[in-house]
Amino acid sequence: MESFTILSEEQWYNIPEEKRVLFQKLIGEKKKGRVMNTGFFVNDNNEIRLIGRFIKNNATAFYHADYNSGGAWEIQNTIENMIWTFKNDVDPFPERLPFVQKQLSAMLNEDLPQILRRVGKLKLTICVVPRSKSETYYRKDQMLFRETISNVVDKLPNFENGTKYIIRHTNTRTTHLDRNGEGGDGNLPYPGITKNTCTISKQVTNRDILLIDDLYTKSVNIDEDAIQALFDNGAKSVTFYSFGKTVSKK
């Protein structure tokens, strides 16, 4: 009988880089696993295909790990817990914020250089999909997702900080809360909602953009609309990356 060890994400990122490479070869680059790094898929059946009426231009997209609904958000070290902790709204975890900031930083430092190589660009400008409400709606500790990305990008070569190039000025419905009737004011996603509710910097013009969101869910379409808004504002190319991708239940 073969034995195996399941590592938490924190344990994985504390392993020296040279040993991580050896582990990666053993488990295979395209096998799923709860070790977060093995959930990073590129150019296979798990690559997100962004198509539909919300987007007219082609965009390549990547994600870090599967996101499972249910009670997984309560389990520390999971991608689900990280995303819910950063939202810090319905179930605030202020004491966990320093940990998830470290967790997110490790993932970015691991994944962004891989994406840069895969898309074959010399430089990528990092933009972030804004939260659903206006900038003034949130507390500072509810904006740490963007702040953490900004801090990492400032230290990475070949990446430009455009984390504030898309700023929400008008509230939209909070889609992850809408099922419970707690989505608040504003509209649900419709084609053009990003341009209508956000200020988009002219700095995106002629830039190769890497647009980041915490979670991609098929059929919500807010990410597709944000991608199209960047193209409509003159972006040369747009690549999308999310930390989680909701597992569709058929």
- 19-70 tens-digit pLDDT: 666 655 554 443 333 323 333 333 333 344 444 567 777 778 888 888 887 7
Mean residue pLDDT of the chain comes to 79
pLDDT digits (tens, 9 = 90+) for 127-148: 999 999 999 999 999 999 999 9
Share of the chain above pLDDT 90, in %: 46
User: What is the reported pLDDT for 96?
Assistant: 85
Q: What is the rounded distance in angstroms from the CA atom of residue 212 to the CA atom of residue 125?
A: 11
Model confidence at 193: pLDDT above 80: yes
The answer on pLDDT for 149 being more than 90 is yes
Q: Given pLDDT bands bounded at 50, 70 and 90, which one contains residue 76?
A: confident
Q: Answer yes or no: is pLDDT of 86 > 80.
A: yes
User: Model's pTM, two decimal places?
Assistant: 0.78
**pLDDT number for residue 153:** 98
Q: How far apart are CA 136 and CA 248, in angstroms?
A: 33
